[in-house]
Structure 1
Amino acid sequence: MATIKPFKAVRPFPEKAQDVAALPYDVYNRKEAAAAARGKLDSFLRVDRPETTLDDRMKMDDPFVYETARKNLDKLFYRKALTQDNKDCLYIYELIMDGRSQVGLVVCTAIDEYLNNTIKKHELTRADKEEDRIKHVNACDANTGPIFLTYRGEDAINVIVDKWRKENAPVYDFVSEDGIIHRAWVIDDDSMINRLVKKFKNVKSLYIADGHHRSASAVKVGLMRREANPNYTGEEEFNYFLSVLFPDEQLYIMDYNRVVKDLNGLSIEEFLNALSEKFEIEDRGSEAVKPQQKGSFGLYLDNKWYLLTVKEGVYDLADPVNSLDVAILQNNVLVPILGIGDIRTDERIDFVGGIRGLKELERRVNDDMTLAFSMYPTSIEELMNIADADLLMPPKSTWFEPKLRSGLFIHKLS
C-alpha cells in the first residue's frame, strides 16, 4: 500500500517558471553547471549547485556553500520568482519529448515507506554524495529536487489525472532549451485529492527510477529531525519527501554508455583476443554501432567500431541481475580484462547518457579516453523485477529521459 500526501508547494509564479526550472544538479560537472547558471539570476541551479555562484577555488563541501544555497533560495522569493501555496494540493507534471508524453503526479511520500521497502530501491548509494545532499536539504530546510518514482500503472489513477488535465488549464506551459515541453496543473479540490490518495492505497509498491541519493538523503534528514524532536507525531513535513510518480508504461529508458581510460596494459590485438573468448566480434569500420537487442554491444576503439555479441552460455538467463547487459559487460570485460575496480568510484571509467548520442562516445575516445562501449537499454520491467527481488543493479544501469526539472515544485520541511 502506497501513501501519498498533498503539500503546500513552493513553486514559481507562472511567468517565471521557465526561468526558474533547471535540470537536476547531478547531470552537470562543476564547469558545466557554472556555465548553465551564468547570467540566469532566477535559475534554480543557483540553489541546487550554489558553488556556481562562488569563486572556483571554493571547495564544494565547504559549509559556506550550503549557506549560499539557502541564501540563493531566499533570493528567489525576494525577486518574486517563487511563492508558496496556502493550502495542501497535489500537482500534475507532464513532460513531452519527441511527441511522447509522460504524466506524473507530484506528491509527498513517506520516509517510513522508504524504510519498510514499500518504496523499492535498485542501486547502492555513495556516502559522500548522500552527505552532500543531507547538508543541502538541512541548509535549505526543503526537498529541492523531486525523486522520480514509478509504479505499475493503475487505469483508475490515469482516468482521474487525465480528467483533471482536460477540464483545467495548466499553470505552467513552456518549452525548455532542449525542446522538452513542460506542463503542470494544480489539484486543489479536496474531493479529487482524497480520491487519488485512496487510489494509491491499491498500489502495492513504488520504485525509485532516478534519485537514489536524493531519497536516501531526504530520509536521513527526516530521521535526524525525529531524533531532535522526540515528541513528533508523524504528521510533520519532515516525515515526507518530494516525489513525482509516473506509471511504468509511460517511461523511456535510454542507453547508459561507458568510456574507459586505457586498455589496462594490453595491446589492441591482445584486448580483442581476450574479448573473443566471450563475444563474437564483427568489424563495422566507421559505421557507429547502436545495439538493437539484448546481449549486443558497440565497441569504439582506435577509430573503428565493432559489434560485440555475447556467446551462448556466458551468463545465466534466469539470473535477473547478471543477465543485464550492464552486468554482462561489467563481469566479463570491465573487471576481468580492463581491471576496473569499484565501478562506482574508479577514475578510469566514466558514463555517458544516451541522450548525448554515439558521436559523444567518439569525441570522448578521441579526447581523453581510449575506448567506448555503446549499450542496449535496461528495461523498466527488468528494473522493477530486480527491485521486487530485493536485489541491486550495477551502477549507472539506467538513463531516463526526459529529465524532471528542479525548482518547479519544492517541499518545505518546516
Structure 2
Amino acid sequence: MAKIIPFKAVRPTRDKVSLVASRSYQSYTQAELEARLDYNPFSFLHIVNPGYKYHKDITGKERYNLVKNRYLEFKEDHIFIQDETPCYYAYKVVNRDGNMFSGIVAAASAEDYKNDVIKKHEDTIEYRENIFKDYLKTVGFNAEPVLLTYSGNSTINSIISEVQKERAEYEFTTHFRDTHYLWVIDNETSIKTIQKEFEDIDTTYIADGHHRSASSYLLSEDLKSENKQHTGNEAYNYFMAYLIPESDLKIHEFNRLVKDLNGLTKEAFLIQLDRLYRIENRGNELYKPNKKHHFSMYLDGEFYSLYLRKSNYTFNNALDALDTQILYKTILEPILGVSDLRNDTRIDYSHGKNDLVTIKSKVDSGIFKVGFGLVPITIEEMKAIADNHLTMPPKSTFIEPKLRSGVAIYEF
C-alpha cells in the first residue's frame, strides 16, 4: 500500500516560473552557470549557489544556512507563493524528440522507503546520504522531486487526462526545447480518489533519485527522534516525488569508454575477448547493438560487434543477465582491470541520448582507447533487480523525464 499524499507546494508565480526553473546545479558548465547567475536574478540557481552574491565559494554548514536565507528572500519578495490547501500537481513534459511524460507530483512516505514499498535498484554512498541529509535539515525543503514509477492506474490516468483539458497553471519551454506543464489538482473529490487509488498500489520503484530518497528517510528518522510529540503526520515523514506510469518512462543506455587496454596490445586484447565473444569487424559502419547480450566496440578506428558466447557465461540471477554487469564481469574487470566503476578515472560514461559518433570522436581524439555501446535496460529488468534486492552497476540507466528544480517545492 503506497502512501502518496497531497501537499501545499511553494511555487513561483506564473509570470516567473520559466525564469526560476533550473536544471540540477551539477549539470551546468561553469560558463552556463555564470551566464545564468549574471543575467537572471530569478533563477533558482541563486538559491543553491548563495556564494555568488559575495563572489566566494562557500561550503558546508555556512552554505546551507545561506541557501535557506536566499530561499526565504525569494518568498519575502513574492517570487514564491504557497498554496493554501494540500494539492496534487499534474505535471507533463514534452521533449524535443516528441516523447511525452505525464504524472503526478506529490509527497511520498519515508516509511514506505524503509519498508520496501518504495523499491531501489542502486546502491547509495553513505557519506553522500548524510551530507544531503544535513543539507535538508538546515534548508527545510525539497526542490527537486524523486522520480518514482508504478504499474499504472486507469482511474489516476483518467483524472490527469481530465485536468489536462484545462489551461495549465504553468507552460514553459526550456533552452533544450522541452516544454513543461503543471496543473494544480485542488478538487477535494479528485484528491481523495487519487490518494485511495495509490493506497491500492503495492509497490513503487525509484527510477531516479536514490540518494535523495535515502537522505530524506535519514532526515525523517533524525527529526522523529528529536520530536517528543511525534505523530507520524509531520511533513518530515514525507518527501517530494514525481510519480509516472512505467509505460511512460524512457530508459536510455549508458555507454562505456576506457582510456587504455591495461597494458595489452590490440591483438592480445582481441584474443582475450574471443574467449567469451564472437567478434565481427564492422569497419567504418556505425554499428549499434539491437539485442540483449550484444555489444558494439570501437577500437583503433574500427567498429566491432561482440556477441556473448552464452555457453561460457552463467546466468544465476537477474543481475547476471544485465548487460552492464556482463560487460563488467567479462571485459572491464578481468581484461581491462577496471574494478571500481564508480571511482576509477580510467573509465567514463556517455548516455544513450548521445549517438555512437560521440564514442567514436572521443576515441579518435586519443583521450580514450576503446568504447563500448549497449542496448538500454528495460523496465522489467530494473524491476527484477529491485524485487530481488539486487543492485545494478553504476551508470546502468539514463532515465527521462528530467524535471526542473524550483517549479514545485516541498517544505518540512
- Shorter-chain TM-score tier: over 0.9
Describe the SS at the equivalent of 1:220: helix
Aligned counterpart for 2:243 among listed residues 242, 245, 251: 245
Describe the SS at the equivalent of 1:14: coil
TM-score after normalising by structure 2: 0.93
Query: Do residues 296 (structure 1) and 287 (structure 2) align?
Result: no
Q: CA deviation at 1:35?
A: 6.0
Q: CA deviation at 1:176?
A: 1.1
Q: CA deviation at 1:394?
A: 1.5
CA distance in structure 1 between the aligned counterparts of 2:366 and 2:60, rounded to whole angstroms: 32
Alignment of 1:377-388 (within 5 A): 377-388=376-387
Could you say if the C-alpha distance between residues 212 and 261 of structure 1 is closer, same or farther in structure 2, counting changes exceeding 3 Å? same
Determine the structure 1 residue equivalent to 2:348. Answer: 350
- Does the CA-based 8 Å contact 2:103-2:245 persist in structure 1? yes
- Does the CA-based 8 Å contact 2:276-2:330 persist in structure 1? yes
Task: Summarize deviations over 1:206-236 as a string: whole Å, max 9, x none.
Answer: 1000000111111111111111113211111
Tell me the amino acid that sits aligned with residue 62 of structure 2.
Answer: F
Alignment of 1:236-385 (within 5 A): 236-317=234-315, 319-365=317-363, 366=365, 368-385=367-384
Structure 2: runs of 5 or more not aligned = none
Could you say if the C-alpha distance between residues 51 and 377 of structure 1 is closer, same or farther in structure 2, counting changes exceeding 3 Å? farther
Tell me the amino acid that sits aligned with residue 39 of structure 1.
Answer: Y
Could you say if the C-alpha distance between residues 36 and 308 of structure 1 is closer, same or farther in structure 2, counting changes exceeding 3 Å? farther
Determine the structure 2 residue equivalent to 1:85. Answer: 83
- Does the CA-based 8 Å contact 1:5-1:109 persist in structure 2? yes
Query: Do residues 19 (structure 1) and 36 (structure 2) align?
Result: no
Tell me the amino acid that sits aligned with residue 376 of structure 1.
Answer: V
Q: CA deviation at 1:317?
A: 4.8
Task: Summarize deviations over 1:269-298 as a string: whole Å, max 9, x none.
Answer: 221221111112222223323221111112
Tell me the amino acid that sits aligned with residue 17 of structure 1.
Answer: V
- Does the CA-based 8 Å contact 1:343-1:349 persist in structure 2? yes
- Does the CA-based 8 Å contact 1:351-1:396 persist in structure 2? yes
Describe the SS at the equivalent of 2:222: helix
CA RMSD of aligned residues (A): 2.2
Work out the percentage of aligned pairs sharing the same amino acid.
37
Q: CA deviation at 1:66?
A: 2.2
TM-score after normalising by structure 1: 0.92
CA distance in structure 1 between the aligned counterparts of 2:373 and 2:149, rounded to whole angstroms: 26
Q: CA deviation at 1:157?
A: 1.6
Task: Summarize deviations over 1:321-361 as a string: whole Å, max 9, x none.
Answer: 11111011011111111111221222222222222332332
Describe the SS at the equivalent of 1:355: coil
Could you say if the C-alpha distance between residues 53 and 208 of structure 1 is closer, same or farther in structure 2, counting changes exceeding 3 Å? farther
Describe the SS at the equivalent of 1:136: helix
The number of residues matched between the two structures is 410
Q: CA deviation at 1:205?
A: 0.3
- Does the CA-based 8 Å contact 1:180-1:402 persist in structure 2? no
CA distance in structure 1 between the aligned counterparts of 2:367 and 2:330, rounded to whole angstroms: 24
CA distance in structure 1 between the aligned counterparts of 2:264 and 2:47, rounded to whole angstroms: 45
- Does the CA-based 8 Å contact 1:30-1:52 persist in structure 2? no
- Does the CA-based 8 Å contact 2:249-2:401 persist in structure 1? no
Aligned counterpart for 1:184 among listed residues 182, 185, 192: 182
- Does the CA-based 8 Å contact 2:143-2:407 persist in structure 1? no
CA distance in structure 1 between the aligned counterparts of 2:246 and 2:47, rounded to whole angstroms: 30
